């Protein structure tokens, strides 16, 4: 379910970048906040099965907060509920996993409210009242078909291959005395994890991790073209597909061991990622 959810989210972000939807600044900003909230929910949800990868993933990621100057250590212990990841951490993460969807729901309503104020974007990037048609029944039935196909694919995966996208190590019960040889997050976090790993400094890695998401907030400010959409901008189209390829490379690198040549490839791909945006 989480994998399908993130596939839809990343496709939605890609469409927004390609067709210039980010120029609706309020809608785009709320969308980035939504992405952060969804990522937080997915992370705390990934810990709940309490397998080896869940336990050690929680240990590694929560330890990143220790890099925050002055309050880092206290913050980590507050999240853990003790001096290490334990049952208290699991209870807190379950509470977060229950409460965060309500925050996401409120942010989604705000996202739709701003979208209703500005109107939806289109591939041409042009706004013409003469060419507009009602949302219902033209788009509502189209969305219903897409929803039905997605539900069919999700149900097929959940009923026939429920463990297909799961990490094999996560079927082993959590054991704080045995560290897995290669700790990695779920595939939808791998690109950000690769950027984190590409910086040798702990604080620098955490800042790069945050910047990999927050850089989306700069996209509307860096837009200088008179054309909203990339449809009529071949150079920008090339940069967009280069970004897609770069994210795929980072996703691949994030799942690889921290060794040569993956380290240098990850560092180059991380540099390209930020260069394309800026």
- The residues carrying an active-site annotation are 116, 120, 142-143, 186
DSSP 8-class letter at 174: P
d(CA 249, CA 277): 16
Contact 257, 182 (CB under 8 A): yes
Cβ-defined contacts of 30-34 (< 8 Å, 24+): 30/107, 30/110, 30/111, 30/114, 31/111, 32/213, 32/214, 32/216, 32/217, 33/107, 34/104, 34/107, 34/108, 34/111
Query: What gap in Å lies between CA 129 and CA 124, rounded to an integer?
Result: 14
Give the span between the Cα atoms of 208 and 212, in whole angstroms. 6
> 44 exposed, middle or buried (CB, 10 Å; 0-12, 13-18, 19+)?
buried
Tell me how far CA of residue 242 lies from CA of 16, 231, 263, in angstroms: 16, 16, 20
Determine contact, residues 13/22, Cβ cutoff 8 Å: no
Question: Quick one: tokens of 46?
Answer: 């990934």
Beta bridge partners of 173: 51
Rounded Cα gap, residues 7 and 3, in angstroms = 6
- 3-state DSSP assignment of residue 180: coil
d(CA 183, CA 53): 7
């Amino acid at each position: 379910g989480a994998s399908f959810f993130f596939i839809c989210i990343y496709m939605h972000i890609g469409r927004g970048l390609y067709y210039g939807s980010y120029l609706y600044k309020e809608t785009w900003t709320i969308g980035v906040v939504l992405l952060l909230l969804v990522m937080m929910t997915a992370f705390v949800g990934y810990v709940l099965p309490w397998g080896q990868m869940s336990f050690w993933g929680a240990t590694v990621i929560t330890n990143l907060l220790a890099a925050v100057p002055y309050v880092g250590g206290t913050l980590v212990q507050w999240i853990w509920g003790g001096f290490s990841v334990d049952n208290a951490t699991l209870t807190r993460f379950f509470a977060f996993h229950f409460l965060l969807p309500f925050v996401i729901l409120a942010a989604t309503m705000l996202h739709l409210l701003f979208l209703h104020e500005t109107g939806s974007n289109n591939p041409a990037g042009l706004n013409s009242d003469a060419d507009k048609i009602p949302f219902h029944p033209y788009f509502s039935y189209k969305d219903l078909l897409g929803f039905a196909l997605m539900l069919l694919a999700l149900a097929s995966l959940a009923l026939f291959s429920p463990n297909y996208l799961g990490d094999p190590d996560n079927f082993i019960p959590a054991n704080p005395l045995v560290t897995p040889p290669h700790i990695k997050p779920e595939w939808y976090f791998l690109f950000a994890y690769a950027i984190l790993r590409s910086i040798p400094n702990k604080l620098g890695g955490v800042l790069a991790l945050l910047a990999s998401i927050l850089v989306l907030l700069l996209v509307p400010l860096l837009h200088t073209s008179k054309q909203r959409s990339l449809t009529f901008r071949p150079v920008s189209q090339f940069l967009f597909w280069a970004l897609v390829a770069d994210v795929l490379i980072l996703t691949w690198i994030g799942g690889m061991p921290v060794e040569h040549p993956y380290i240098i490839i990850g560092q180059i791909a991380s540099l390209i990622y930020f260069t394309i945006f800026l």
